[in-house]
């Protein structure tokens, strides 16, 4: 018996189906680790031994004990163990962790970029050892991100506000957003005019003035001369051009196009693509290579010639933009091009169709387009010329299947040089120059890629982190930096300018690539970075804390004592605080509205003896804490909270073993959390049944009509067994 270990249960089911069809008597058992089985502990003090050479200390991920036990049991029975985790650095690291935790002596590593019968058979024929250089590169990234994140975040907690965070790649991304925002703030609009003219020969059409004057007198002159002057077709310019298709998708372009066309966030795109990959419909979706296999090109050639004709096919080889295209060896493409539509649900079908269309069109002929420009002169050039542009598609080529990226016919009227035109109406329209546009998620990913910041596996995480931390808000696809994002970025730029620069961040990524290629030493790389970085962090310990962000408008006085106010930053953004704080707790919203002060319970804090116990609102509802927070972190035991007792389900918390699961109402509706919050932060989406999941040990919760109960842990196979079965 051979044991094959992958990450996801869905992937294991797809692979099992193909392995059962292999010739021979070998029995294959496929098991899933259900993602990572080890990670760095939350406490930074225990996570990395810097003095010993940046050695990370991993701990088993909670809930994975049973999975590890099962993997050990099957590995002992197996004649050979094959580690078939994803074909990138993270997959290599997961394979290594499985080997270390289960005590495997000589496991083999196999990789495939698509889950098809042929690819899996070929991979099994070519097993190799775990690539320690790839594993070290992933480990170096994790260690770097942890060291930078903890050191920077700790300093920001002390100098700006408790609970904020910073990261090695998220901070440069936030800086880019803020640079654009500062451009917009500094922008001064200027007036200009566009002038259009409705004219007629055999049919009506509209011309536009070649100039956009910024002086009203010039606008009036052009309008006056135009109304009285003679309009003649002065010239007709015709040109032909070719428009080539775009390269097949890599991770970044898939995320950008899915955002623009389908409205998917980068994280959603990657989640849907993951399902398509695990179901065997597409190749691996984390890649910066535009390469296509000869087998894939042969498939496309047959389909294009049969469906659209011989003249539509054109063999194309695309060069990789990345200097070190490394995450996988092929572009994102369908595994079977005869399937024009595939997927288990509407989202998967839409994304699959997008991938199919882009890949097939990449091997099609250029579109041929005829451009025409009609130029009208007025009174032999007394005022600027007016013109109109049009185009006709002579041969659609790749646009036959992908008109969203192509053009539409825009035919112009049939006129000849010297022909008179009748003016119907001339219209000047006052406008103002517009500030530069803010980034969308797609635009920011494109910018990060252009500056060589991040890698395919990190783009979606960067976008999600900026949103989750509350540093940006997404409005109609556009990213707006929040007050918190503004303050954090400004603080980091002022104090760690070099470490969030484009050049430094890109160079660090290149060094990680060199570790992956075996050209750079792990310990030396981290030492060269962390020594100088840590010194700068330590040197900033004595800088003054940012207690306020300037004086509030003079018309707003403290609603409690009438004193002047200052602008401060809370987790919800800017607000106005009494200048006499902490003697006075008066506060207003940034728009001037009065903020009710926290309710006092009348009790003295039993820990610090100086603070008063007040009622606060937290992530999981109301709780009672010391007014001296964060200096004093006392929180009254929530068992005494009558609101908790009223909504108590009576189901014990399996995490802390002390509290019970209590019904709460949050931003997204009803949920259930431990009554021992914030000491225990266990929370689930639906009402607990009181049963424990046999698969992972988490609480079972109420489900739907088709799945009456399910595991509360999303990663567990029992969370959605119906969906797992269908996939």
Phi and psi at residue 290, in whole multiples of 5°? -100, 10
The SS3 of residue 421 is strand
| Spatial distance between the Cα atoms of 464 and 268, rounded to a whole number of angstroms | 10
- With the CA atoms of 106, 74, 724 and 86 taken in that order, what torsion angle do they form, in degrees rounded to the nearest 10? 0
DSSP 107: -
Q: Which residues contact 51 (CB under 8 A, 6 or more apart)?
A: none
Phi and psi at residue 259, in whole multiples of 5°? -70, -45
Q: Residues 682-706: pLDDT tens digits?
A: 888 888 888 888 877 888 888 876 6
Q: Is 334 buried (19+), middle (13-18) or exposed (0-12) by CB count in 10 A?
A: buried
**What average pLDDT score do residues 427-448 get?**
94
Question: What local confidence, expressed as pLDDT, does residue 617 receive?
Answer: 63
Q: Which region among 4-13, 400-409, 499-508 has the lowest average model confidence (pLDDT)?
A: 400-409
Count other Cβ atoms within 10 Å, centred on residue 489. 25
Selection from 64-78, 104-118, 210-224, 701-715 with the highest mean pLDDT: 210-224
Residue pointed to by tokens 């506000």: 161
CB 81 within 8 A of CB 75: yes
Q: How confident is the model at residue 639 (pLDDT cuts 50, 70, 90)?
A: very low
Question: What local confidence, expressed as pLDDT, does residue 322 receive?
Answer: 61
Q: Which residues contact 126 (CB under 8 A, 6 or more apart)?
A: 110
Residue pointed to by tokens 């982190």: 465
Question: What local confidence, expressed as pLDDT, does residue 478 receive?
Answer: 93
Q: DSSP characters for 357-368?
A: HHHHHTTBPPEE
Q: How confident is the model at residue 23 (pLDDT cuts 50, 70, 90)?
A: low
Give percent of the chain above pLDDT 90.
47
Phi and psi at residue 720, in whole multiples of 5°? -145, 70
**Does residue 723 have a pLDDT over 80?**
no
Tokens (6 digits) for 41: 């502990």
Q: Residues 649-661: pLDDT tens digits?
A: 888 888 888 888 8
Residue pointed to by tokens 């997204």: 668
CB 453 within 8 A of CB 169: yes
Tokens (6 digits) for 213: 């004057």
**Does residue 35 have a pLDDT over 80?**
yes
**Does residue 634 have a pLDDT over 90?**
no
DSSP 102: H
- Per the model's pLDDT, the better-predicted residue between 646 and 148 turns out to be 148
| Spatial distance between the Cα atoms of 369 and 527, rounded to a whole number of angstroms | 57
- With the CA atoms of 328, 4, 461 and 285 taken in that order, what torsion angle do they form, in degrees rounded to the nearest 10? 40
**What average pLDDT score do residues 222-240 get?**
94
- Per the model's pLDDT, the better-predicted residue between 410 and 299 turns out to be 299
CB 229 within 8 A of CB 370: no
**Does residue 404 have a pLDDT over 80?**
no
Question: What local confidence, expressed as pLDDT, does residue 677 receive?
Answer: 77
Residues identified as active-site = 284
Tokens (6 digits) for 96: 């290594």
- Let me know how many helices (H) and strands (E) the chain has, helices first: 19, 29
**Does residue 20 have a pLDDT over 80?**
no
| Spatial distance between the Cα atoms of 226 and 60, rounded to a whole number of angstroms | 79
Question: What local confidence, expressed as pLDDT, does residue 685 receive?
Answer: 85
Q: Is 80 buried (19+), middle (13-18) or exposed (0-12) by CB count in 10 A?
A: middle
| Spatial distance between the Cα atoms of 613 and 362, rounded to a whole number of angstroms | 66
Query: Is-cis flag, bond preceding 678, omega within 30?
Result: yes
Cα-atom radius of gyration of the chain, to the nearest Å?
31
- Per the model's pLDDT, the better-predicted residue between 662 and 176 turns out to be 176
Question: What local confidence, expressed as pLDDT, does residue 277 receive?
Answer: 93
Tokens (6 digits) for 561: 């004592």
**Does residue 239 have a pLDDT over 60?**
yes
Selection from 115-119, 396-400, 657-661, 665-669 with the highest mean pLDDT: 396-400
| Average pLDDT taken over every residue of the chain | 87
Domains of the chain, each with CATH number or no CATH:
2-130 (3.40.50.140), 140-186+437-539 (1.10.460.10), 191-244+367-432 (2.70.20.10), 251-361 (1.10.290.10), 637-727 (no CATH)
Question: What local confidence, expressed as pLDDT, does residue 327 receive?
Answer: 46
> Mind spelling out the 3-state secondary structure of 519-572?
CCCHHHHHHHHHHHHHHHHHHCCCCCCCCCCCECCCCCECCCCCCEEEEEEECC
Q: Which residues contact 253 (CB under 8 A, 6 or more apart)?
A: 246, 247
Question: What local confidence, expressed as pLDDT, does residue 523 receive?
Answer: 94
Sign for the CA dihedral angle at 156, 157, 160, 162 comes to positive
**Does residue 572 have a pLDDT over 80?**
no
Q: Which region among 335-349, 475-489, 621-635, 673-687 has the lowest average model confidence (pLDDT)?
A: 621-635
**Does residue 642 have a pLDDT over 50?**
no
Q: Which region among 176-185, 290-299, 469-478, 698-707 has the lowest average model confidence (pLDDT)?
A: 698-707
CB 55 within 8 A of CB 48: yes
Q: Residues 379-389: pLDDT tens digits?
A: 988 999 999 99
| Spatial distance between the Cα atoms of 19 and 84, rounded to a whole number of angstroms | 13
What element of type H or E holds 489?
helix 483-495
| Spatial distance between the Cα atoms of 312 and 322, rounded to a whole number of angstroms | 29
Question: What local confidence, expressed as pLDDT, does residue 710 receive?
Answer: 86
Q: How confident is the model at residue 670 (pLDDT cuts 50, 70, 90)?
A: confident
**Does residue 643 have a pLDDT over 70?**
no
Q: Which residues contact 69 (CB under 8 A, 6 or more apart)?
A: none
**Does residue 203 have a pLDDT over 80?**
yes
**Does residue 613 have a pLDDT over 80?**
yes
Question: What local confidence, expressed as pLDDT, does residue 618 receive?
Answer: 59
**What average pLDDT score do residues 666-684 get?**
79
**What average pLDDT score do residues 621-629 get?**
78
Question: What local confidence, expressed as pLDDT, does residue 614 receive?
Answer: 86
Q: What is the pTM of this model?
A: 0.76
Q: Which region among 503-517, 530-544, 694-708 has the lowest average model confidence (pLDDT)?
A: 694-708
Residue pointed to by tokens 């104090």: 495
**What average pLDDT score do residues 144-157 get?**
89
Question: What local confidence, expressed as pLDDT, does residue 724 receive?
Answer: 42
Q: Residues 318-335: pLDDT tens digits?
A: 887 665 554 457 899 999
DSSP 106: S
Residue pointed to by tokens 């063999």: 315
CB 590 within 8 A of CB 568: no
Give percent of the chain above pLDDT 70.
93
CB 366 within 8 A of CB 243: yes
Question: What local confidence, expressed as pLDDT, does residue 638 receive?
Answer: 54
**C-alpha closest to that of 547 among 561, 568, 574:** 568
Query: Is-cis flag, bond preceding 351, omega within 30?
Result: no
Q: Which strands make up the sheet holding 587-589, listed edge to edge?
A: 565-570, 573-578, 587-589
| Spatial distance between the Cα atoms of 183 and 120, rounded to a whole number of angstroms | 52
Q: How confident is the model at residue 377 (pLDDT cuts 50, 70, 90)?
A: very high
Question: What local confidence, expressed as pLDDT, does residue 619 receive?
Answer: 53
Q: Which region among 34-48, 54-68, 466-480 has the lowest average model confidence (pLDDT)?
A: 34-48
Q: DSSP characters for 319-360?
A: PPSSTT--S-SS-B-BS-TT-SS--SSHHHHHHHHHHHHHHH
| Spatial distance between the Cα atoms of 679 and 506, rounded to a whole number of angstroms | 40
CB 396 within 8 A of CB 369: no
The SS3 of residue 80 is strand
């Amino acid at each position: 018996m051979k044991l094959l270990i992958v990450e996801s249960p869905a992937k294991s089911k797809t692979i099992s189906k193909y392995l059962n069809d292999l010739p021979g008597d070998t029995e294959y058992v496929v098991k899933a680790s259900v993602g990572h089985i080890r990670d760095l502990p939350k406490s930074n003090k225990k996570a990395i031994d810097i003095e010993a050479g940046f050695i990370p200390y991993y701990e088993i991920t909670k809930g994975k004990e049973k999975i590890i036990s099962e993997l050990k049991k099957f590995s002992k029975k197996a004649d050979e163990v094959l580690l078939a985790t994803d074909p990138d650095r993270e997959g290599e690291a997961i394979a290594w962790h499985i080997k270390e935790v289960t005590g495997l002596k000589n496991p083999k590593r196999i990789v495939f970029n698509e889950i098809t019968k042929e690819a899996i058979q070929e991979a099994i024929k070519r097993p190799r050892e775990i690539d320690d250089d790839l594993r070290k590169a992933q480990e170096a990234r994790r260690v770097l991100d942890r060291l930078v994140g903890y050191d920077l975040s700790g300093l920001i907690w002390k100098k700006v506000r408790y609970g904020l965070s910073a990261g090695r790649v998220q901070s440069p991304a936030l800086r880019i957003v803020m640079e654009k925002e500062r451009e917009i703030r500094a922008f001064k609009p200027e007036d200009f005019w566009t002038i259009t003219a409705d004219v007629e020969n055999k049919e009506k059409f509209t011309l536009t003035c070649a100039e956009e004057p910024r002086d009203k007198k010039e606008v009036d002159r052009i309008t006056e001369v135009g109304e009285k002057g003679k309009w003649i077709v002065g010239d007709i310019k015709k040109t032909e051009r070719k428009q080539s298709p775009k390269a097949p998708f890599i991770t970044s372009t898939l995320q950008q196009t899915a955002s623009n066309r389908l409205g998917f966030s980068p994280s959603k795109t990657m989640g849907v693509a993951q399902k398509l990959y695990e179901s065997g419909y597409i190749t691996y979706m984390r890649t910066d290579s535009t390469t296509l296999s000869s087998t894939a090109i042969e498939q496309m050639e047959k389909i294009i010639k049969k469906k659209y004709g011989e003249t539509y096919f054109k063999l194309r080889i695309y060069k990789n933009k990345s200097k070190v295209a490394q995450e996988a060896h092929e572009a994102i493409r369908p595994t079977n091009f005869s399937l024009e539509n595939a997927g288990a649900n509407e989202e998967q079908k839409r994304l699959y169709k997008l991938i199919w269309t882009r890949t097939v069109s990449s091997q099609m002929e250029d579109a041929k387009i005829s451009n025409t420009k009609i130029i009208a002169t007025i009174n032999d050039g007394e005022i600027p010329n007016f013109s109109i542009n049009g185009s006709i598609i002579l041969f659609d080529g790749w646009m036959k299947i992908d008109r969203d990226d192509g053009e539409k016919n825009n035919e112009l009227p049939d006129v000849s040089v010297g022909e008179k035109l009748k003016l119907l109406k001339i219209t000047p329209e006052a406008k103002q120059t517009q500030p530069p546009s803010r980034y969308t998620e797609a635009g920011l990913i494109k910018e990060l890629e252009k500056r060589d910041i991040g890698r395919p596996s990190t783009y979606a995480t960067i976008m999600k982190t900026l949103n989750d931390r509350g540093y940006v808000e997404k409005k109609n696809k556009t990213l707006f930096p929040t007050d918190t994002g503004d303050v954090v970025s400004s603080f980091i730029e002022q104090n760690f300018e070099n470490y969030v620069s484009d050049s430094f961040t890109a160079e660090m990524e290149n060094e990680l690539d060199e570790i992956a290629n075996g050209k750079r030493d792990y310990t030396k790389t981290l030492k060269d970075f962390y020594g100088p970085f840590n010194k700068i962090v330590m040197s900033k310990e004595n800088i003054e804390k940012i207690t306020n962000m300037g004086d509030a408008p003079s018309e707003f006085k403290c609603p409690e004592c009438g004193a002047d106010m200052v602008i401060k930053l809370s987790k919800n953004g800017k607000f106005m605080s009494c200048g006499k704080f902490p003697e006075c707790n008066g506060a207003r919203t940034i728009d001037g509205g009065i903020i009710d002060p926290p309710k006092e319970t009348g009790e003295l804090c039993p820990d610090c003896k100086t603070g008063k116990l007040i009622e606060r609102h937290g992530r999981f509802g109301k709780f009672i804490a010391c007014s001296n927070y964060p200096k004093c972190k006392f929180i009254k035991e929530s068992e005494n909270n009558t609101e908790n007792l009223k909504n108590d389900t009576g189901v014990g918390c399996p995490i802390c073993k002390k509290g019970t699961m209590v019904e709460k109402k949050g931003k997204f509706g009803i949920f259930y959390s431990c009554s021992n919050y914030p000491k225990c932060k266990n929370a689930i989406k639906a009402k607990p049944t009181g049963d424990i999941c046999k698969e992972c040990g988490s609480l079972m919760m109420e489900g739907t009509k088709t799945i009456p109960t399910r595991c509360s842990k999303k990663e567990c196979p029992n969370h959605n067994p119906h969906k797992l079965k269908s996939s």
